[in-house]
Each structure stands twice: as structure tokens, then as C-alpha cells.
Chains A and B, each alone.
Chain A
Amino acid sequence: MGYQFDWSLVLTGEYRDWLLDGFVLTLKISALAGVCALALGTLVAVMRLSRVKPLEWLSLAFTEFFRNTPLLVQIFFWYFGSEAFLPKAVNVWLYKQDFEFAAGTIALTVYSSAFIAEELRSGVFSIPKNQLEASRATGLNFLQAYRYVILPQAFRIVIPPLISQLLNLLKNSSLVMTIGVMELTYQARQVESFTFHGFEAFTVATLLYLAVSLSVSFAITMYNKHFLHQLRY
């Protein structure tokens, strides 16, 4: 007996709803972790560039540690290990919330922020030194100079690599299924277990990932075309 394709199985009814729920959760966890990773990554990059030695070392240790260990291990670490190092009250509170979602978000945030910090740092390096000098010479302090002069320019330059990091994050978010976050890959797996129609379920999941990735890439390329032209020195 050959494999019988049954597309209506995954495109209608309960199984379709599972996949859609999973898709929404994928978008949610990716968006939340993405925003947090941008903030944390910026902080880590600024620390690295601060010329304050202890902050530089801390930032270097952070990026090297999280970039050079497998994401899956990190996810397990946050999920199974948080009990050991977070205060008990925080853990109790976390368990009452959606603990899987929280641990998954933290893992994805921290992991992605290490890559984002590196992209930002190289973006900042590509800004001519005299921009910092010119802004400091008007009396702006270090943080103001970064906030108003260096980072806005760096962000424009790093938008293409940043977006590819955020799309990596979207794809990496499939790994949090391993700790029971019911996102798209998890749901596709569920459909497969219930129906044995894995091909259809994972095809739908693949197309959904692809649709988001491609449309984000496209939107950003357009945005970028519009904004990068200003940056001539």
C-alpha cells in the first residue's frame, strides 16, 4: 500500500486549528524574544564598546558563551536548570505562569541577543570614528552620543544582517517544542502522531515558516532601500 495523501485532513477542522494555534504561538514567541533580544543585544554591544574593561570582559564572555554552545542545550538549561539558580519565589511564580513559554522565550532571547550584539558591534565599527568625536565635542556624554548619533546609524547599516538573525530566531523557535511549547513544529508533530499524515502536516508548517521569512525579508529590503541612501559621509 502506498501513502495516501489527504490534504483536507490538515486544511480543515480540528487539525487545521492545531496548526494555526501553533503558528500563532510561533509568531508570538519569536516576536517577544525578538524584541527582548534586540534590547539585550544592544546593551551587550554597548558594554563591549564602553571602554570600561570589566564591562567589556563581561560582554565578551556573554557573547562567546552563548554563541558557542548549542541552542538546544541552552533551552534545556533554562527549562530544567532554572530551579537551581533562580530564587524560589521567582520559580514558584514562573510555574504558575506558562513556564514552558517563559523558559523558551528566555533561551531564545539570550541566544539571539549574543548574535545581535555581534552584528551591532560590527555595525558600530563601520561608523566613522569622527562621528563619535563630533558628537562628544558638542558636550554629549558617551551614552547620549551612542543613543542619538552612533546607534541610529549603526542600526540602519545592520538592518540586513539583523533581519537575518531575527529570521534565524524564527526558525530556531521550532526547538522549543522539545520543552513542550505548543508552537508550529510541536503541533505538526501532534497532527502526525494522531493521523500518521506527517507529510501534509510538515508541508503546511514549512510553507508557513517560509511565508513569514520571505515576506519579512521583502519588507525590510524595501525599507532599507529607502533609508540607506542617506548615509553618505
Chain B
Amino acid sequence: MAFIEINGLHKWFGSFHVLRGITNQVEQGEVLVICGPSGSGKSTLIRCVNRLEEYQKGTIFFDGRDIHDPGMDVNSLRAEIGIVFQQFNLYPHLSVLKNVTLAPTKVRGVPRAEAEEMGLALLERVGIHDQAHKYPAELSGGQQQRVAIARALAMKPKCMLFDEPTSALDPEMINEVLNVMKDLARDGMTMLCVTHEMGFAREVADRVIFMDAGEVLEEAPPLEFFTNPTHERTKLFLKEIL
């Protein structure tokens, strides 16, 4: 069984059928890039993996366990899956370092000193350890998003979800975030990335999937995906964004 197995996934928002039978497998260490027009269901799909969204039909297995099993503790599932949002969603009332150490200390019971040491190391890894005692509002968008990545990594997740992590950033800040993501990918993190950064996809993705209207229309390794898309809808989309 693959590390993440999505089988026949359907989801409705009221009467709107947002996911129409998604089936996909992600192996450990794999980087999957999901692209597609807005409203295609790509964010909803990755948000189903850590149960930020509930789905009505189909199954998702994470690391061998059905995430909807009644015996499955949703909090411990989420502790193993990091997520980075488009809008960063840092805690504005806590310092950068506290943003990173909150979950490890409260969920995992890591002692404060140890958590802070780890937090500083993570902030160093994303290149902002000198801002550890500032508040999020004092940081630029790119810096805030890197803090958000460090916050997710602090739980030592087995997998990372990225929900359009660079869409809210000024162009000159996109690369500093993408570089952190590329490093993560090279270190063997399993990653599901919803993004339109095709340069990123080309460089580090193992596979790219294209979604439209709740379905996966195209799925291929990046080179093939960009040079030889089979579906008309994909060609049109690529022409528009490249």
C-alpha cells in the first residue's frame, strides 16, 4: 500500500460536487504538484488529507491507516501532517519563536527549553533565526510564510501539504519561500503542493497532476507534463500560465 492512498474520493459542498472520484497514490518521499484553474477542487483535495475538510464518499489511507476510521484520533493524524496556507495564518499575538514552539510543547509535551532550541534551529533552516523574538506583523510576507513552514516542521511531520503557499506573496518574495520548499523536497519530505509555480514543479516534482472541475485530467512526470500534455484542457491551461 502506498504512503497516501486516495480512492474514489467524492465531496460535495451542499449541492456543489467539488471532488468527483479522485484516485491517487503518493509514495513516501514523493513530491506531487497539483495544479489547475481556481475552483477545480485542488485545495479541497489536499485539505481532505488532514481532515480540514470532510468528504462524503471514498477513502483516504495515510501511512496504512484509514483516516476516517472511528478509532483514528484526528489530532494525532494532524500532528503527523504539516500544512502551509496561502495566507500564512500565523498567530499574531505570539512571537515568531512561540508560533513555532506552541504545538510541540502542547501536543507532544516537549519541554520548553528543548522546543525553543529546536524552534531556533528550524528558523535557522528557513533563514530567519534573527527574527525569532519579533511578532508576525513585523515581518514581510515571505518571512511570515517561512515561519509558517517552520511551524509546520516543528511537529516533525511525515508529510507536508502546501496550499498555494506563494499566491499571496509579492513576486520578489516568492523565491525565498520556494527555495525552502525545494530544500525540503531534496531532504526527502513527502509533499503535496497546490501551486502554479511551474518552475518549482519542473525542478523538484516527481509527478504533476492537473485538475479541472473536480477531476484529475492529466497526470505525468514534470518533463512529460510540460512538453507533451495530452488533454486539450491542460494545453490551454499551460498556455495561459507559462
* Interface of A toward B, CB cutoff 8 Å: 128, 130-131, 133-141, 144, 148-149, 152-153, 156, 229-233
Contact = CB atoms under 8 A, between A and B. Distances in A.
Nearest to B106: A144
Contacts, number: 68
Given A138-B151, A138-B152, A139-B155, A232 B103 contact: no
A49 B83 CA distance: 25
Q: Which of A128, A135, A138 has the most CB of B within 10 A?
A: A138
B92 interface: yes
Interface string B55-85: 0000000000000000000011011001101
B89 A140 contact: no
Interface string B145-175: 0000001100100000000000000000000
Contacts of B89: 128, 130-131, 133-134
Interface of B: 50, 52, 75-76, 78-79, 82-83, 85, 87, 89-93, 102-103, 106-107, 135, 137, 151-152, 155
B87 A140 contact: no
Q: Which of B78, B87, B106, B135 has the most CB of A within 10 A?
A: B106
**B-side interface mostly:** mixed
Given A139-B75, A144-B107, A230-B137, A133 B52 contact: yes
Contacts of B107: 138-140, 144
A230 B138 CA distance: 9
Contacts of B52: 133, 136-137
A130 B92 contact: no
Contacts of B137: 229-232
**A-side interface mostly:** helix
A233 B106 contact: no
A133 B89 CA distance: 9
Given A130-B87, A133-B52, A144-B107, A138 B78 contact: yes
Contacts of A141: 75
A138 to B, nearest CB: 4
Nearest to A129: B89
Nearest to A154: B93
A140 B106 contact: yes
A131 B155 contact: no
B85 A138 contact: no
A130 B75 CA distance: 17
A143 B87 CA distance: 24
A153 B155 contact: no
Contacts of A229: 137
